[in-house]
Every structure is written in structure tokens, then in C-alpha cells.
């Protein structure tokens, strides 16, 4: 009586890669969409080519104000007038726990080719609200 085991001289083990490929493509689509959103929230501007303060600590962006090359003001992809902008800034100040306008966080992204008339006007009006400082966005040169 012989008990023989089945012998497979050359056995091929196949790993099913289809789910992994599905997941990888999903990841690609996710990152592509996320990149699109990132570009939408940042208006296309020719920012001043400066290295900036180069502080490593992450800082909250706060209210992002875009000053476009044609002098118009854009906030959250919406073109607005200076009066409406001041209202939005005031709302930001009111939302602060301290209510101190010096603590409001503003990031101004101004086109470098634009003249400073709009920026100066904005700063004068922000100052009248009690805002003590603002951050000017720069593009780090390569």
C-alpha cells in the first residue's frame, strides 16, 4: 500500500494585484483633485520674488486677501469691493475670543506688478479698524 503525495514540479503562485492597483488609482485621483482645490484657493498671482521670513513654525493663514494685477480684490474666489472686505475683516475681529483687532490674522497676496495705491488704501483702512499688522505673501525664488 502506497500513500503518495501530489507533487507539483513547477507551481505558480499568483498574487492578485487588481485591488492594489484600484487603491493606487484612487489615491492618484484624490491627490489630483486635492491639488486642484489648492490651486483654486490660491488665486493665480505674480507674487513678489522674495525669500520671506523663512520661519519654520507653521502658522494659521487666517483671512487670505488677494490683490489682483488689475487692482481688484478677491476673497474666497469672489471679487469684492473694499467696503465689503472691511466688513469681512470686522467679522473676523468679532469672531476672535479676545476681540482685539491686533490679533486678527490677515494674509495679503498682492501681485508684484500692481501699484501700491490699492495696498496703501487697504492698509490705511485696516489701521482705522485697529489692525496692527498684516502678512504679505512672497514667492520663494528657486
Residues of this chain that interact with other proteins (CB under 8 A) are: 1, 3, 5-15, 17, 20-21, 24-25, 28, 31-32, 35, 38-39, 42, 47-54, 67, 107, 110-117, 119-121, 123-124, 126-128, 131-140
Question: Looking at beta carbons only, is 3 or 77 nearer to other proteins?
Answer: 3
Q: Nearest distance from residue 64's CB to other proteins, in Å?
A: 11
CB nearer other proteins, residue 78 or residue 142: 142
Kindly tell me the burial class for residue 103, based on how many C-beta atoms sit within 10 Å of its own C-beta (0-12, 13-18, 19 or more). Answer: middle
SS3 29: helix
Task: Tell me how far, at minimum, the Cβ of 10 lies from other proteins, in Å.
Answer: 6
Residue 90 CB, nearest distance to other proteins (Å)? 16
CB proximity list for 122: less than 8 A, separation 6 or greater: 65, 67, 73, 82, 85, 108
- Virtual torsion, Cα 38, 87, 78, 45, nearest 10 deg: -60
Burial class (CB in 10 A: 0-12, 13-18, 19+), 139: middle
User: Which residue, 10 or 77, is less far from other proteins as judged by CB?
Assistant: 10
Please give the Cα distance from 137 to 116 (Å, whole number): 14
Closest contact distance (angstroms) between CB of 83 and other proteins is 18
Q: Give min distance, CB of 89 to other proteins, in A.
A: 12
For residues 80 and 123, which CB has a smaller minimum distance to other proteins in the complex?
A: 123
Of 13 and 95, nearer to other proteins (C-beta) is 13
Amino acid at each position: 500500500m502506497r500513500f503518495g503525495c501530489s507533487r507539483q514540479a513547477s507551481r505558480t503562485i499568483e498574487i492578485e494585484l487588481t485591488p492594489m492597483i484600484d487603491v493606487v488609482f484612487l489615491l492618484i485621483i484624490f491627490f489630483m483633485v486635492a491639488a486642484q482645490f489648492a490651486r483654486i484657493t490660491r488665486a493665480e498671482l505674480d507674487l513678489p520674488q522674495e525669500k520671506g521670513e523663512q520661519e519654520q513654525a507653521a502658522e494659521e493663514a487666517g483671512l487670505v486677501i488677494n490683490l489682483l494685477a488689475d487692482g481688484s480684490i478677491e476673497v474666497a474666489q469672489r471679487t469684492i469691493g473694499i467696503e465689503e472686505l472691511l466688513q469681512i475683516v470686522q467679522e473676523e475681529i468679532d469672531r476672535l475670543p479676545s476681540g482685539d483687532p491686533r490679533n486678527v490674522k490677515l494674509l495679503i497676496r498682492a501681485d508684484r506688478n500692481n501699484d501700491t495705491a490699492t495696498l496703501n488704501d487697504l492698509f490705511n483702512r485696516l489701521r482705522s479698524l485697529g489692525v496692527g499688522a498684516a502678512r504679505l505673501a512672497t514667492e520663494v525664488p528657486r
